[in-house]
């Protein structure tokens, strides 16, 4: 646990008692603060009370008169699509609003670090797609070379559940826009921006607000090194804001769309080969085509981001390349879950938006595409015609409407069982049955993991 520093003896309100909220409550108490909790769910309140924490509602500004700070769980919208009443009451009372990420950065460094030969470092990864794979890949590479390392944030443990770091340790954090938008302290040593595509627009009041939430990771803390994907205008803008000139190597630009040139530091992947350029000269090359855990250009982008991060931490190219080959990938992200009679079954349930689905579709040929669910803002227009798709099998409560918007042959299946059964019946050797929904899961499932597990369970009936 990372005890929260700087709030000793102060009363701190905690709104939301899920994983991060309860973790923050414990860490506040461990640091000497007095947490006072609330969650609309009585079961969540009961769990907190069972641990001895006080729960009471916060309805008006008067309820915050003795409160030093309000900690809000990331799943709770605070400003858009409508102001949260508890957050609004805190702001009316002049109480600062924060989250567990802000508490972490406020509390991570201690005087014990004076005894270390090498100070611990924090790598923070954000972006629309690829955050989890990039974070896990960085953690895997560092672990493979024997570097002390922990993984947390939007993946693995909550940030305040981390162990106090040891000499030379690296903490890798995956941070969503929900986590970066409210944190009062954001001071990573290395910050990574993978890419940007429309997502969570209702939560952030549009694309500008969504990008602004991501940008805070770089603008608020001023990382020593920034790794920035420049395949979208926002990434190019961010890289331009952070650097002092073309040769500024504090910013490493990454791309899978073009060869990057110039006097600075660049890492890009083209036709399956990753290249590193510094001061206008190529310094390393890695063949990604034979890396089984990183199929497709979207994973090559993740590889570029992880490679650049590990290079900035002092690892040699050949060391990173060897670690690539032992990376198994993450569940629900281009995950090969079975093969029979020349037909492969791939689970990419994490492809919850159009951009992620398009990248998954580009990684394979002869696809039997299982898609559908709760359609996100922006629609499906960006998918366009996908030459690699032989047929789509559409699931979800609104499957018929979803199917009408696709530019490929589509069959309305509604359920996962029916979709998998129909795809199996029609698949031929060389085909790939791919779950890449291009939509949220909440019309039928609690989360994308449950949807992916249902797919795997149905596939298991046939392989």
293 is in an annotated binding site: no
180 is in an annotated binding site: no
Residues 337/349, Cβ–Cβ less than 8 Å:
no
Peptide bond into 81 cis (omega under 30): yes
Using the 8-state DSSP alphabet, how is residue 162 labeled? S
Q: Are strands 190-193 and 265-270 parallel, antiparallel or unpaired?
A: unpaired
CA distance 23 to 17: 8
Task: Say what the alpha-carbon torsion angle 75, 78, 82, 85 is, to the nearest 10 degrees.
Answer: 110
133 is in an annotated binding site: yes
Q: What is the 3-state secondary structure (H, E, C) of 287-312?
A: ECCCCCCCCHHHHHHHHHHHHHHHHH
372 is in an annotated binding site: no
128 is in an annotated binding site: yes
132 is in an annotated binding site: yes
CA distance 235 to 304: 15
388 is in an annotated binding site: no
Q: What is the 3-state secondary structure (H, E, C) of 60-122?
A: CHHHHCCCCEEEECCCCCCCCCCCCHHHHHHHHCCCCEECHHHHHHHHCCCHHHHHCCCCCEE
CA distance 229 to 70: 34
Residue environment code for 287-316, b if the CB has 16+ CB neighbours within 10 A, otherwise e:
ebeebebbbbbbbbbbbbbbbbbbbbbebe
Which residue numbers belong to the known binding site? 127-133
Which residue numbers belong to the known binding site for ATP? 127-133
């Amino acid at each position: 646990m990372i005890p929260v520093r700087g709030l000793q003896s102060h009363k701190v309100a905690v709104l939301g008692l899920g994983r991060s909220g309860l973790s923050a409550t414990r860490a506040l108490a461990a640091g000497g603060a007095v947490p006072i909790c609330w969650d609309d769910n009585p079961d969540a309140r009961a769990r907190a009370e069972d641990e001895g924490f006080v729960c009471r509602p916060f309805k008006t500004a008067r309820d915050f008169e003795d409160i030093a700070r309000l900690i809000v769980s990331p799943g709770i919208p605070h400003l858009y699509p409508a102001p949260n009443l508890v957050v609004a009451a805190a702001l009316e009372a002049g109480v600062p609003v924060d989250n567990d990420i802000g508490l972490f950065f406020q509390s991570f460094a201690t005087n014990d670090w004076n005894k270390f030969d090498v100070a611990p470092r924090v790598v923070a990864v954000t972006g629309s797609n690829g955050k989890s794979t990039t974070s896990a890949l960085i953690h895997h590479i560092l672990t493979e070379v024997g570097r002390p390392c922990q993984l947390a944030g939007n993946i693995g443990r909550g940030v305040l559940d981390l162990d106090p770091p040891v000499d030379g340790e690296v903490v890798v954090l995956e941070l969503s826009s929900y986590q970066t938008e409210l944190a009062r302290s954001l001071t990573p040593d290395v910050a990574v921006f993978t890419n940007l595509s429309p997502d969570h627009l209702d939560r952030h009041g549009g694309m500008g607000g969504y990008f602004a939430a991501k940008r805070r990771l770089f603008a608020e803390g001023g990382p020593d090194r920034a790794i920035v994907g420049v395949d979208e205008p926002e990434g190019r803008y961010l890289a331009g804001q952070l650097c002092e000139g073309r040769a500024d190597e504090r910013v490493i630009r990454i791309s899978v769309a073009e060869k990057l040139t110039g006097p600075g530091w660049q890492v890009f992947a083209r036709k399956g080969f990753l290249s590193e350029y510094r001061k206008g000269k190529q310094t390393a090359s890695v063949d990604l085509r034979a890396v089984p855990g990183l199929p497709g250009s979207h994973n090559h982008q993740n590889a570029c981001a992880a490679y650049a991060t590990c290079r900035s931490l002092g690892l040699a190219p050949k060391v990173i390349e060897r670690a690539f080959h032992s990376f198994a990938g993450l569940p629900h992200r281009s995950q090969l879950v079975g093969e029979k009679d020349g037909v492969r079954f791939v689970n990419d349930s994490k492809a919850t938006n159009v951009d992620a689905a398009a990248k998954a579709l580009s990684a394979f040929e002869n696809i039997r595409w299982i898609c559908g669910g709760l359609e996100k803002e922006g629609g499906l227009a960006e998918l366009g015609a996908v030459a690699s798709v032989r047929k789509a099998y559409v699931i979800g409560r609104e499957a018929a409407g979803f199917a009408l918007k696709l530019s490929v042959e589509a069959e309305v299946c509604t359920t996962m069982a029916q979709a998998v059964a129909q795809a199996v019946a029609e698949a031929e050797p060389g085909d790939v049955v791919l779950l890449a929904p291009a939509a949220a899961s909440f019309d039928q499932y609690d989360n994308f993991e449950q949807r992916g597990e249902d797919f795997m369970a149905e596939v298991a009936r046939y392989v």
